[in-house]
Amino acid sequence: MELRILGCSGGEANGERLTGLLVNGCVAIDAGSITGALTVEEQVKIQHVFISHSHLDHICTLPFFTKNIFGHTHDAVEIHALPETLDVLRRHLFNDELWPDFSVIPSPNDPTIRYTDIEPERAYHVCGLRITPIRVNHLVPCVGFKVEDEKDAFIFTSDTAETDRIWEVANATPNLRLVIAEASFPNEQVRLAAASKHLTPAKLGAELAKLQRDVPVKIYHLTPGDRVPMLPQLQALRDSRVSLLDQDERLIW
Ligand SMILES: [Zn+2]
Ligand SMILES: [Zn+2]
């Protein structure tokens, strides 16, 4: 499996990129950075996009992506998300007001994108991968994902406050190679973290106590201006599994 990090807020590079992963060149997980990180040639190879939730930093390049691939693909690209998330995309984004409705362009029978409902805990088989959404605890309906091929697995928690199920799933995945987890605000902003359903480094520490696996845990979603206070707070966890996810990281198993 090849996992390419297209963007993860809080990365060191100038020009912030937002959340997005690419697996085997064919499946995008979240769409915060597709068009910023990939050439059009690479974008055209994406056949499936799994969206964790409707917040802008996870979907904002979907419109430009649909425009870029228009006319270059044989089949519609499938946009997989919870029904509540797809509803937001339909009503507030691809509504002909903010962006044309590419689910009926060029025609309803031959669209550029197709919406597909997903259900937590059900496995979806695409591009030789098995992708299982796991519900997490965020301000809007949100899922993390377990992504597996026949050999290896990784887990992306997406945005979440305190949660249990995704850690149970991680503990029950024998071939787990990596967890990508969030920490969004420094410890001093615990009230903001609670109100927006995110984690601070201290809260992440409590979450990681639930993870009984010795695998790398790469942290994403730091608010860029808060890197300086957050780095020592992450180090203070004294958890050797923890490091920051790098915007352009490529992981191959
Ligand atoms: Zn969010
Ligand atoms: Zn986010």
Average pLDDT over residues 235-253: 95
114 pLDDT band (50/70/90 cuts)? very high
What is the 74 CA–ligand 1 centroid distance (Å)?
32
The answer, yes or no, to whether residue 9 has pLDDT greater than 80, is: no
On average, the pLDDT of the chain sits at 95
* Residue 7, pLDDT score: 87
- CATH number 3.60.15.10 given to 2-248: yes
Instruction: Output the six-digit token pair for 243.
Output: 């490091």
The percent of residues above 90 in pLDDT, for the chain, comes to 91
Q: Which of 239, 154, 172, 231 is nearest to 205 (CA)?
A: 239
* First-last CA distance in the chain: 5
16 pLDDT band (50/70/90 cuts)? low
What is the 223 CA–ligand 2 centroid distance (Å)?
10
15 pLDDT band (50/70/90 cuts)? low
Map out the domains of the chain as residue ranges: 2-248
Ligand in closest contact with the CA of 183: 2
Look up the pTM and report it.
Answer: 0.97
Query: Residues with Cβ < 8 Å from 99, sequence gap 6 or more?
Result: 63, 66, 93
Ligand in closest contact with the CA of 18: 2
Average pLDDT over residues 65-85: 96
* Residue 232, pLDDT score: 97
The percent of residues above 70 in pLDDT, for the chain, comes to 97
- Residue range 180-237, pLDDT digits in tens: 999 999 999 999 999 999 999 999 999 999 999 999 999 999 988 888 999 999 999 9
Average pLDDT over residues 72-84: 96
Distance of CA 53 to the CA centre of its chain: 9
What is the 106 CA–ligand 2 centroid distance (Å)?
31
* Residue 13, pLDDT score: 52
What is the 19 CA–ligand 2 centroid distance (Å)?
7
- Residue range 37-72, pLDDT digits in tens: 999 999 999 999 999 999 999 999 999 999 999 999
What is the 108 CA–ligand 1 centroid distance (Å)?
31
What is the 235 CA–ligand 1 centroid distance (Å)?
24
* Residue 161, pLDDT score: 98
Ligand in closest contact with the CA of 138: 1
What is the 198 CA–ligand 2 centroid distance (Å)?
9
What is the 74 CA–ligand 2 centroid distance (Å)?
31
Ligand in closest contact with the CA of 32: 2
The answer, yes or no, to whether residue 241 has pLDDT greater than 80, is: yes
Whole-number Cα distances in Å, 242 to 19, 23, 24, 247 = 19, 22, 24, 16
The answer, yes or no, to whether residue 10 has pLDDT greater than 80, is: no
What is the 116 CA–ligand 1 centroid distance (Å)?
20
Ligand in closest contact with the CA of 196: 1
Cα–Cα distance for residue pair 39/44, rounded to 1 Å: 9
What is the 55 CA–ligand 2 centroid distance (Å)?
6
What is the 196 CA–ligand 1 centroid distance (Å)?
8
The answer, yes or no, to whether residue 14 has pLDDT greater than 70, is: no
* Residue 135, pLDDT score: 98
The answer, yes or no, to whether residue 17 has pLDDT greater than 90, is: no
